[in-house]
């Protein structure tokens, strides 16, 4: 059980239970990118152990090896529901002509800190370089879920409150009050 500890302007502490995360957001198999160098297919979105996992098939359409990555210092353009974040890390080396299946993970707890109650859209800033370190693709790919466009999946944000903290058990909240 997750609880939020919020201190109001008088200094009083109030524990609030975070709204449950909507796990109904699913995707259909979707081709996100198909060019001469790389094909990216979103296969499925699953929820396990307070995480959302996006499964991607990455096909190297070249003869040489490709390094495919997201959320790097050189190019970090990942987002969930339009909110930029570092969640969604991917790093894969794919031999020429082969396909690799990779999972990209998103912490539901962190998404809730950003005020999200469900996933409507996942964007990944993808960068791919060949074995000669030449950039063969750099851009944002996006997949939308069955919750896309629903107002109920975003509820404002918990982040930014100086006197707030996220507590994972009700016992910890009782200790602060």
The pTM of the full predicted model, rounded to 2 decimals, is 0.79
Helix (H, G, I), strand (E, B) or coil at 37: coil
The pLDDT value given to residue 71: 75
Q: Yes or no: say if 55 and 88 are a contact pair by the CB < 8 Å rule.
A: no
The pLDDT value given to residue 17: 63
pLDDT band with cut points at 50, 70 and 90 for residue 118? very high
Closest CA to 90 of 60, 61, 126, 59: 126
pLDDT higher than 70, residue 165: no
CA 137 to chain centre: 21
Average pLDDT over residues 1-29: 73
pLDDT band with cut points at 50, 70 and 90 for residue 85? confident
Task: Identify the DSSP state of 21.
Answer: P
Q: Yes or no: say if 106 and 87 are a contact pair by the CB < 8 Å rule.
A: yes
Cα–Cα distance measured from residue 145 to residue 122, given in angstroms and rounded to the nearest whole number: 8
Between residues 9 and 166, which one has the greater pLDDT?
9
- Tokens 């990555």 sit at which residue? 69
Cα–Cα distance measured from residue 125 to residue 137, given in angstroms and rounded to the nearest whole number: 10
- Tokens 């999972």 sit at which residue? 103
pLDDT higher than 80, residue 139: yes
CA dihedral of residues 108, 148, 33, 67 (deg, nearest 10) = -10
pLDDT higher than 70, residue 68: yes
- Tell me the two tokens of residue 17: 């239970």
pLDDT tens figures, 43-52: 999 999 999 9
């Amino acid at each position: 059980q997750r609880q939020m500890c919020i201190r109001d302007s008088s200094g009083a502490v109030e524990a609030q239970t975070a709204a449950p995360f909507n796990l109904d957001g699913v995707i259909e198999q979707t081709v996100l990118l198909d060019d001469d160098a790389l094909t990216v297919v979103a296969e499925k979105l699953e929820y396990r152990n307070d995480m959302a996992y996006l499964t991607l098939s990455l096909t190297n359409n070249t003869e040489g090896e490709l390094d495919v990555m997201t959320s790097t210092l050189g190019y970090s353009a990942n987002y969930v529901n339009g909110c930029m974040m570092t969640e969604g890390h991917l790093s894969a080396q794919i031999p020429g002509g082969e396909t690799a299946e990779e999972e990209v993970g998103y912490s539901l707890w962190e998404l809730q800190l950003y005020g999200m109650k469900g996933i409507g859209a996942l964007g990944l800033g993808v960068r791919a370089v060949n074995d000669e370190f030449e950039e063969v693709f750099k851009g944002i790919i996006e997949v939308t879920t069955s919750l896309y466009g629903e107002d109920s999946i975003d509820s404002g944000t918990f982040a930014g409150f100086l006197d707030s903290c996220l507590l994972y058990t009700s016992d910890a909240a009782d200790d602060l009050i």
